[in-house]
Amino acid sequence: MTGLFRRVRPEQVRELTLVFILVAVAAFFSTQIPNYLSARTFTDISTGLEVIAVVAVGETLVVLTRNIDLSVGSVVGLVAYFVGTLLANNPGLPAPFAIAIAIVIGGALGAINGAIVAFGRVPAVVATLGTLAIYRVALVELSGAKTVTTDSLPKWLLDLPRVSLFSLGDLDVRALVVLAALVVVVFQLVLQYLPYGRRLFAIGSNPEAARVAGLPIQRDVFVAFLLSGALAGLAGFLFLVRFGNITVVAGQGLELQAVAAVVVGGVNIFGGSGSMVGAFLGAALINLLQQSLLRWPAVSAFLQDALLGVLILLAVASDKVILERLRTRWVRARRRDDERAAAAEQAVPGA
């Protein structure tokens, strides 16, 4: 086995492929859309990334355990409307308090999902499909057919999307984009170095073996849904900051984008493998396509959801066919290396 193959895991192949696809997609649209390759385009695309990236991080935690959270779009919309109404009625509330409220509400909604799935043993797709509808109805009842408008929100909230940490020429790096990147980095470190993250991989890879080994499966699955809800709550605040005008359809369809980002990013829909970096790259690809298609008159906006569906099918199929073979070859090659190393160590004393 070559040194390169020894260092690069099969899951990293998807991430490297996504980087290549991102470059290829950007190069293609640069030939179709005037002034596409500009600092303004990058700023616009990166600004639209933070919501889906944060939601995708939470979705990844759930998918790693062989579950799925379809309620994230409704959670984002409900939190965005509640926090928007709260700030409209109390414009003096500080930003940290508003963010904390959003995370707490999202976490509470995620905890309901987690309790139903982990302790009630209801299949996640059924449970979260039900709470998707319940949370959306709660938003409709809460709003009373009213809309949160930008003119009712405090000035600091309206200025937040334009806050840049630094600029490189005409390129502005927004604070909210950096916040989303920090969320990705933190949870990638959780998966790599904390026992909880490693247990998620074990649960998704083989739930029965994890149960026999005495891992706290119910608690870990519950926490995964709670964190998914909390991150959806944070995304709800970011959604409010980005759009300002919040209606009863806020966040609708975001669950499809999140699932697409996760599976396109190389997270196995059947659990047990994946990374936050991959999910972030998947979110970046989907956001790049969405933003670019809006500016490309050759394609109807109604085809965007169909394109997401095609991406999901292709990602799942490639994961099942191509990456499964790569994983098998990688494991066999590593096993041969270990056997050769063990044989060499045994041969040394007798030499």
The answer to whether residue 346 is domain-embedded is no
The answer to whether residue 150 is domain-embedded is yes
Rounded to the nearest 5°, which phi and psi values hold at 298? Answer: -70, -15
Neighbouring C-alpha atoms within 13 Å toward the C-beta of 329:
14
DSSP 8-state code for residue 152: G
The answer to whether residue 350 is domain-embedded is no
- Residue 97 sits in which domain range? 3-340
CATH number of the domain bearing residue 157: 1.10.3470
The answer to whether residue 351 is domain-embedded is no
The answer to whether residue 291 is domain-embedded is yes
Q: How many domains, the chain?
A: 1
The answer to whether residue 286 is domain-embedded is yes
pLDDT tens for the 351 residues of the chain, in order? 455 445 556 566 777 778 888 888 888 888 888 888 877 778 778 888 899 999 999 999 999 999 999 999 999 999 999 999 999 998 889 999 999 999 999 999 999 999 999 999 999 999 999 999 999 999 999 888 788 888 888 988 888 888 888 777 777 788 888 999 999 999 999 999 999 999 999 999 898 999 999 999 999 999 999 999 999 999 999 999 988 888 888 888 899 889 988 988 888 888 888 899 999 998 998 888 888 877 777 667 667 667 767 766 776 666 556 666 666 666 666 677 666 766 666 766 554
The answer to whether residue 46 is domain-embedded is yes
Rounded to the nearest 5°, which phi and psi values hold at 305? Answer: -65, -35
Are residues 162 and 173 in contact, defined by beta-carbon separation less than 8 angstroms?
no
The answer to whether residue 348 is domain-embedded is no
3-state SS, residue 211: helix
Cα 257 from Cα 234, distance rounded (Å): 17
Identity at 243, one-letter amino acid code: F
242-264 burial, b at 16+ Cβ within 10 Å, e below that, comes to bbbebbbebbbebbbbbbbbbbb
